[in-house]
Structure 1
Amino acid sequence: MHISISGLLGAWLALTAVAKPVGEPELQSRATDFTNPILWQDHPDLDVSRVGDVFYYSSSTFAFSPGAPVLKSYDLVNWTPVSHSVPRLDFASKYNLNSATDRAYVKGIWASSLQYRKSDDTFYWIGCIEGKTYVYSSPNSGAGANNGEVNNWNWSLRATINKCYYDCGLFFDDDNTVYVAYGNTDIQVAQLSNDVKSEVRSQSVYKGSVTIEGSRMYKVNGNYYIFVTRPANEEWVLKSKSPFGPYEQKVLVASISGPISNAGYAHQGGIVGTKDNKWYYIGFLDAYPGGRIPVSAPITWGSDGWPSLVKVNNGWGLTYPMPVSTSKTVPAPVGTDNFSSSALSHEWEWNHNPDTTKWKLTNGVQLQTATITNDLFTARNTLTHRIIGPKSHGTFRIDVSKMQDGDRAGAALFRDVAAYIGIYKEGSSSRLVMVNNLSLNSDWSTKSTGTIAATGPTLASGATDVWLRVQADITPAFSGGATRQTTFWYSTDGNNFQQLGPAFGMTNTWQFFTGYRFAVFNHATKALGGQITVKSFTMQKY
């Protein structure tokens, strides 16, 4: 995870059976070139690796639960989520969103690492959360015998180490020795026990004169490498013949232009090789209001062992040749989720840990009211979904027939400065509202619970389904200063939509780290007992 510094651009669920949204033809071409960004969604602090023919990708999720999504790809360009390494955020009670003063915004899972160890057919995830390092593992995956395909994800907590491996990168050496590179400015390498439960030794290997972090550790052609970021615009490479150094240093990229405008510079990433020994660096761009999105470029290796990024017109290429030619596909990120499986798709994450007694899958996602509050930021069981850029809308079909007096439900554009379209149940009446200017203070306490900006029609007595749409333009505006707009729409038949309320201007600030998300919520203001059922969610580009 990067922290902005002055003068730079910024600085649970056992989810094994997954229902994937129905895809549309949004996958990038497999024949010739790909276009950056490779995935226009908020997936920062990435760690990328390959097992057989399958590439895996892990990223940060902060207080969203389950945490640390695992994405897979066959070509390094088209990705789909397949698991979460941390099924539930069991780090402290505040991750349960207990109250307005007991919650975990901007805490939780920052830059972490995911790697596979062939010798025991196990995936390992490691990350520092508030001073301690947690290790989760998924054994007996079958990936080694199935050319990288996983038969079963079975994540559980393996160990807690009473030390913070900040912004860590896990590495298994050829002899199975376990290392983790970590640190801020003072980069260190620790050797862990073979069972990945404790530290054997640790030492400093490189002290920077400026802030560097985001370690990723590799071994290529006999050399050890630690890739680190100088936030938020450079990527450095440390190279040594030994895991414990001494390390030399060179710059891989520094304030490199492109590939899209009004975004930050590519940095804080990692490298991965294909089966035919082609190598790629993948970093992310600060691309608020949408978050931090991944971009990829080939790298070459010099005779001196140093990598170089392949540039286009001395900048980061908008397009490059496809890394892998394959007929294997993954689902597209757009389409409709009808919630017809026995578990939620890994596209979904809750705002903090959910109250598992207040939701279930039954002809949709049934959300009972779990909190009595007038503050959406304190309401449990708000279900979120990343927005696909640059412009898309998310439409929730919701059965509101079992809402009770005082209940509030709806579709939100969720972040620290937020807005929503929803239903307010008052007595026997259900009225449509658009609410804006919900916001958090800089310490992530609630600043404003929002203002009703527009009131729509009252739903007919006995009405059941209503369609609520959030239409968001998350075209990067991080360095350009423009205010991107979101509009809110409703329909009572699923075909004819009407806008409600004014356009809402999104914030481009980085301090909350997470980009905007689509979200659906249901909470009470008077008494528990009401419920809604989310029958479907459709995300489409426009």
Structure 2
Amino acid sequence: MSWTRHPVNRRAVLATGTGLLAGSVLPTATAEQASAAQPAAHSPALAATYANPVLWQDFADIDVIRVGDTYYCSASTMHYSPGAPILRSYDLVNWEFAGHSVPVLDFGAKYDLQGARGYVRGIWASSLAYRPSDRKFYWVGQIDFAKSYLYTASSVEGPWSRLTTIGTAYYDAGMLVDTDDTLYVAYGNTAIHVAQLSADGRTQVRSQQVFSTPSSIGTLEGSRFYKINGSYYIFLTRPANGQYILKSTSGPFGPYTLRQVLLDLPGPVAGGGIPHQGGLVQTPNGAWYYMAFVDAYPGGRIPVLAPVTWTSDGWPVVQLVDGAWGSSYPSPAVPAPPRPVEPMTGVENFTGTSLAPRWEWNHNPDNSKWSVGNGLTLSTATVTSDLYWARNTLTHRIPGPTSTATVLLEYTGMRNGDRAGLAVLRDSSACIGLLRDSSGTRVVMVDGLTMDANWNTTGTGTVRASTGVSGSRIWLRVNADITPGANRTARFSYSTNGADFIPFGPAFTLNNAWQFFMGYRYALFNFTTGALGGSVRITRFEVTAP
């Protein structure tokens, strides 16, 4: 960042009768799947009810499946790496990070921040499936509207490997593993197609348009593909306020009948949008649930869950509360979980041999410039004045509706020109951090880090508060309110002893426009305007939320 100085004080509807929606589902678990599930024992009792959202974090374009007694959820990540996170749950309500389907975005130099940038590209709406015949998980998605990629793994934790590249771009893919083990993918925008893959999944053997969206509806996309009781269903989203279903009783290539299941349905998040574009899943005892997301910027798109019933003629119906998606429902009746899930907040000391799956880089990192084990060491990887060009910026989703991130940063390894710290990162960003130059080290609060609608940098930052510091370490803190509406602020502070925090700089208003798609993230960064060679070490990162 150029971080221009600025004079400041130094202390400074679902239409009720027309149906529902459903998401990704393995019907009743097979004996093979059930035997692979972990035994259910020594678990705390589930609460009688659950509240929406079930996750107040940015997980969009949800696909959700069940394998045995365990549920898995996949989501979009755009330019973040690794991509396509996988969450795990034993009750559809409490979720933990498990892994990523796409280990690295090796789709061109722009995903390495080498001469180009991949902002708002990369991992769009994609699909997660499980194939009982080979006991493998499958992920499929298109990149840059040019090609599709299919990855597989025997465990969601990985390792994931690329099985194939297919020349057709499966836009907003939804994969179905049919009861005869055939692999199908539903995809498209307005013109909806179904592709059949070869038995090994490596090639496309057939693709056919199965539906053309009427102009009276507009756009339909976001395919999710299911076979339920012998019928084929393709769930489609009309962004960002409607959900429709195609149903075929004649096979995966149709013909299909269209039904509206949700339109302008009031959602459960005050100030948030309409629930849409998610997945349908069935519990072991036969109950059905739909997990969708609601637009809740500046935090992103957050998952909500509702039970589903079926009409006598085979259409799903979301269960409403007073004509709206409920703010709470009875908890799913599921087997006792084998263990509590890992919390998504808390303390990270970076003592392991790899990063936990809650972490994602802004584009692919330069792996020679970071390490973990004895804390997280970030060596400068880019000479730039622009945070959006800086490699090795490590991000963490911001939990809502409010949360606080605190980082302990050791800075004796910084060199002149280095910029390191903690940001709230999106297309309009701000940060608190350290600036090292020939006069020493200063702690600064910076805003005015901006991009335009084509994701080109329009502002590299203005210093709003600055003061000198000495010593070897500093605590940096951000309090973020991502509640949709008027508040949506980030406030910065720092401490030299870890106990007394000094408010620093003005409050920053978080951008709540949807066009960047991803929500704000906490981001750890270290880059330089001088020469490479400097480093910082982060020995503690803590996120707390009410």
Structures share fold, TM-score greater than 0.5: yes
Residue in structure 2 matched with residue 168 of structure 1 by the alignment: 173
Residue in structure 2 matched with residue 486 of structure 1 by the alignment: 490
Q: Does 1:351 align with 2:383?
A: no
Q: Does 1:261 align with 2:270?
A: yes
CA deviation digits over 1:274-311, x for unaligned, max 9? 00010011111010000000101000011100001100
CA deviation digits over 1:234-258, x for unaligned, max 9? 1111111111111111122111112
CA deviation digits over 1:92-136, x for unaligned, max 9? 11100124xx11111111000011111011111100111333334
Of the three residues 193, 209, 214, the one matched with 2:198 is 193
Residue in structure 2 matched with residue 51 of structure 1 by the alignment: 67
Measured after TM superposition, the shift of residue 428 of structure 1 is 5.8
User: After superposition, where does 1:76-475 map in structure 2 within 5 Å?
Assistant: 76-99=92-115, 102-141=116-155, 153-209=158-214, 210-241=218-249, 242-325=251-334, 326-327=336-337, 328-427=339-438, 429-456=440-467, 458-460=468-470, 463-475=471-483
1:198 alignment partner AA: T
The secondary structure found in structure 2 opposite 1:471 is strand
CA deviation digits over 1:303-356, x for unaligned, max 9? 100001100001100001111442432012111011111110000000000001
**In percent, how many aligned pairs have the same letter?**
51
User: CA–CA distance in 2 between the matches of 1:319 and 1:225?
Assistant: 27
Structure 1 residues 536 and 70, CA, compared in 2 at 3 Å: closer, same or farther?
Answer: same
Query: TM-score normalised to the size of structure 2?
Result: 0.89
The secondary structure found in structure 2 opposite 1:405 is coil
Residue in structure 2 matched with residue 145 of structure 1 by the alignment: none
Structure 1 residues 28 and 111, CA, compared in 2 at 3 Å: closer, same or farther?
Answer: farther
The secondary structure found in structure 1 opposite 2:133 is helix
The secondary structure found in structure 1 opposite 2:368 is helix
Residue in structure 1 matched with residue 501 of structure 2 by the alignment: 497
User: CA–CA distance in 1 between the matches of 2:114 and 2:435?
Assistant: 23
Measured after TM superposition, the shift of residue 205 of structure 1 is 1.1
User: After TM superposition, where is structure 1 displaced by more than 6 Å over at least 4 residues in a row?
Assistant: none
Given that residues 352 and 373 in structure 2 are in contact (C-alpha distance below 8 angstroms), is that contact kept between their aligned partners in structure 1? no
CA RMSD in angstroms, aligned pairs only: 1.4
Residue in structure 2 matched with residue 16 of structure 1 by the alignment: none
User: CA–CA distance in 1 between the matches of 2:418 and 2:168?
Assistant: 44
The secondary structure found in structure 1 opposite 2:474 is strand
Query: TM-score normalised to the size of structure 1?
Result: 0.90
Structure 2 alignment gaps of length 5 or more: 1-42
Q: Does 1:523 align with 2:527?
A: yes
Q: How many residues align?
A: 498
Residue in structure 2 matched with residue 509 of structure 1 by the alignment: 513
Given that residues 148 and 170 in structure 2 are in contact (C-alpha distance below 8 angstroms), is that contact kept between their aligned partners in structure 1? no
User: CA–CA distance in 1 between the matches of 2:483 and 2:371?
Assistant: 35
User: CA–CA distance in 2 between the matches of 1:81 and 1:135?
Assistant: 23
CA deviation digits over 1:470-520, x for unaligned, max 9? 11000023xxxx251110111111111111000000111011100000001
Given that residues 126 and 133 in structure 1 are in contact (C-alpha distance below 8 angstroms), is that contact kept between their aligned partners in structure 2? no
User: CA–CA distance in 1 between the matches of 2:389 and 2:452?
Assistant: 14
User: CA–CA distance in 1 between the matches of 2:69 and 2:530?
Assistant: 54
1:419 alignment partner AA: A
1:320 alignment partner AA: Y
2:200 alignment partner AA: D
User: CA–CA distance in 2 between the matches of 1:255 and 1:208?
Assistant: 19
User: CA–CA distance in 1 between the matches of 2:173 and 2:208?
Assistant: 14
User: CA–CA distance in 2 between the matches of 1:260 and 1:528?
Assistant: 46
Structure 1 alignment gaps of length 5 or more: 1-26, 142-149
Given that residues 470 and 488 in structure 1 are in contact (C-alpha distance below 8 angstroms), is that contact kept between their aligned partners in structure 2? yes
Given that residues 488 and 503 in structure 1 are in contact (C-alpha distance below 8 angstroms), is that contact kept between their aligned partners in structure 2? yes
